[in-house]
Structure 1
Amino acid sequence: MFNDWKAEKAVAGLVTEAQELSDKLGTAKPHILDAHAAMARLWAARQAVEGTDLYAMASWKAPALKKFTSATQTRINALRKARTWDQADGLTIWLHSARALSEPRILAPVKEIWRQLAHAGPNADAMAEELLAEEGLSPDPGRAIPKGFA
């Protein structure tokens, strides 16, 4: 019984985190939304170089999702410790996306996050292209919403 309560509390916390990010993006100034959109694209491109298609994570098996979630949380903590907030924020979007695939209650706020990112201003595209070029990454196909989040 205690374990059920503990698990429910953990899920409720994850839902709250995703909802807070969605709310933050919904009220953010345009340059903040643009930065989040650009950083999410940068992380997708970085992962693609390593052979991981983040846009197709809905088709991943449960162990792959769990491994990605764990590794991503560790990486976000390191980025925050290093005070690279923009990079951590972009990767957090992917973390919430992975969590939403294993916990349906997180899905609604994550879909809203992706909807907001899809409607970011044109500066998001310019920022993403500049970030990709700075890191020597191939241009990405542009704005996209991962499968399962449209």
Structure 2
Amino acid sequence: MGLTATYNLVHDSECRDEDTVELRLIHEDVDKAIIEAYGWRDLLDGPGQTPVVNPTYKTFPLDHGFHETDQGTRYTIGLLARTEIIDRLRQLNHQAYADEVHLGQHKGVTEKKAREKHPDLPPPSPEIIRKRKEELAARGGSDFSEGAEGALF
């Protein structure tokens, strides 16, 4: 049996085959391990048991089960949790981009240009600001580039 046939059974709510049920449980364990790795325990615990790490986050149970998706019925996490996870990943992505721009890792993109294109871009993280200052100190000088922390021009 190939992967397509196997996953057709995983997503079939009528299938109660022991191996298929076990595969669903494995997927739940993988989902939970990933959530744990991101430090989002609030999604694993009951509402209010674990404080959220970011005040903009909302807490929803993962709600594993058979849910309607754009691909049809799938055995997956619920829509509210799925949406929250995507929002959190988007925030992490935006923060990573802001940090990379601050460190000069995007050729030709200054912080000013990045903010013009993405007005809601978060500020660089404190760790990245510290890292940039350490890099500048190690080089024995200032950063004369436009928009940099402590720039002269």
* TM superposition score category, shorter chain reference: under 0.3
TM-score (norm 2): 0.25
**Going by fraction, where is strand more abundant, 1 or 2?**
2
Largest Rg, 1 or 2: 2
Structure with higher RCO (Cα < 8 A, 6+ apart): 1
Higher helix share: 1
TM-score normalised by length of structure 1: 0.25
